[in-house]
Amino acid sequence: MNLNQNEQEQLATITRKVETGERITFDEGVFLDEKVDILTLGGLANQVRERKNGNFAFYNTNIHLNPTNVCVYRCKFCAFRADLKSERGYTFTEDMIRERVQEARASGATEIHVVGGLHHQKKFDWYLDVVSTIHDEYPELHIKAWTPVEINWFSFMTKKPTRWVLEQMMEAGLGSMPGGGAEIFHPEVREKICEHKADAQSWLDIHREAHNLGLRSNATILYGHYEEAKHRVDHLCRLRELQDETGGFQTFIPLAFHPENTGMSEIPKASGLTDLKMIALSRIMLDNFDHIKAYWIMLGEKTAQTALSFGADDLDGTVVHELIYHDAGAKTPEGLTVEMLHRLIKEAGRIPVERDTLYRHIVRDGASWSIGEPILASSVS
Ligand code: V47
Ligand code: SF4
């Protein structure tokens, strides 16, 4: 690392701030992103990670459901969407949804992750029925569903406020919201990659509303395309600000852009170093987020495992039936067994803990499970 005298002093200040748990500013974040080497960044992030989560690394047993890939929008980075009349287009029936839920029950999944396209012809009630069908079939299964892009679309279709949409979904069985749709908040980039869909303000407002209604949610960033350090750090600062206000975010998930079959296929896929840097920077900046997720489906098992020493404390889950990344060229397996997740975590020198969506400890006996004693901060060693 070739830092001049001034920069060395800046790094010393940041190091002291990380050690004492002081907040890192926007300018310091950009400095870390642009100038500081990966091992220094990783060391700082690991301090924060171990202070918050000790030696634990979390995972969950989950299944994905993308009820339709037909979408009115055309985000340039998306390989998953299909036109209404395309041969690739599909839409789940109620029976198909029930079948997926039965599969979740048989495998002992605690969570179903539901996101999809904004179908030209499906009304709000169809989306509501997706949630109630799952809930009626297996009420113990936590439903983590719909991004603000979808909530915003439902509000547009029904001409009702987004708060009403969220309340209807909660009544049908919604348990929390995933982190998708955030992409890059800064308009300089957002306008290039997804100009038509819900903007940054609307994404943040809907999460605020969800938190105020008692829902927990996640947040993401889509990196590794046209964005620069200032856009990445701006994104993190906006999330940190909302988290100061509501405390409703649980985990942050950096998502690397996968170029295959997208409208941005000229961009090379992010390298392992870029992935680790994004994980570490997130851990350092997001001082009020409890968890940083290394989503193994997107990173690959090896980088996700390494990320457990660069700020991440969660690998996501067994993840059966993932489509969004595989449509965009991900070469990762379709799912991982619990044994494989344990192996990845233990080899990284961490202690595997199965959690539910709300980060409660799961006690498991085959496909049956119950909520265990909390993993207390005092038991983190
Ligand atoms: O919003 C779409 C991203 C997101 C591509 O909350 C792409 O636990 C890279 O949000 N290359 C959906 N990324 C996935 C998501 C998520 C995943 C795992 C866990 C959680 C959680 C949330 O996927 C979209 C978009 O940002 N995406 N296409 C692509 N080609
Ligand atoms: Fe549609 Fe979501 Fe893909 Fe955008 S990212 S085109 S909103 S499915």
| CATH code where residue 208 lies | 3.20.20.70
Model confidence at 237: pLDDT above 90 = yes
Considering the domain boundaries, does residue 297 fall inside one?
yes
Q: Which atom of ligand 1 is nearest to the CA of 295?
A: 18
SS3 letters for the chain? CCCCHHHHHHHHHHHHHHHHCCCCCHHHHHHHHHHCCHHHHHHHHHHHHHHHHCCEEEEECEEEECCECECCCCCCCCCCCECCCCCCCCECCHHHHHHHHHHHHHHCCCEEEECCCCCCCCCHHHHHHHHHHHHHHCCCCEEEECCHHHHHHHHHHHCCCHHHHHHHHHHHCEEEECCCCCCCCCHHHHHHHCCCCCCHHHHHHHHHHHHHCCCEEEEEEEECCCCCHHHHHHHHHHHHHHHHHHCCEEEEEEEECCCCCCCCCCCCCCCHHHHHHHHHHHHHHCCCCCEEECCHHHHCHHHHHHHCCCCCCEEEECCECCCHHHHCCCCCCCCCCHHHHHHHHHHCCCEEEEECCCCCEEEEECCEEEECCCCCHHHCC
Considering the domain boundaries, does residue 72 fall inside one?
yes
State mean pLDDT over 122-147: 98
Gap from CA of 15 to ligand 2 centroid (Å): 39
Q: Which atom of ligand 2 is nearest to the CA of 116?
A: 8
Query: Quick one: pLDDT at residue 378?
Result: 42
Model confidence at 360: pLDDT above 90 = yes
Q: pLDDT category, 105, cuts 50, 70, 90?
A: very high
Model confidence at 274: pLDDT above 60 = yes
Mean pLDDT of the chain: 96
Gap from CA of 213 to ligand 2 centroid (Å): 26
Question: Would you say the pTM of this structure is higher than 0.90?
Answer: yes
How many domains does the chain contain in total? 1
Considering the domain boundaries, does residue 34 fall inside one?
yes
Considering the domain boundaries, does residue 10 fall inside one?
no
Query: Quick one: pLDDT at residue 310?
Result: 98
| 194 marked among binding-site residues | no
Per the structure, the complete domain to which residue 200 belongs is given by 24-371
Query: Quick one: pLDDT at residue 2?
Result: 86
| 75 marked among binding-site residues | yes
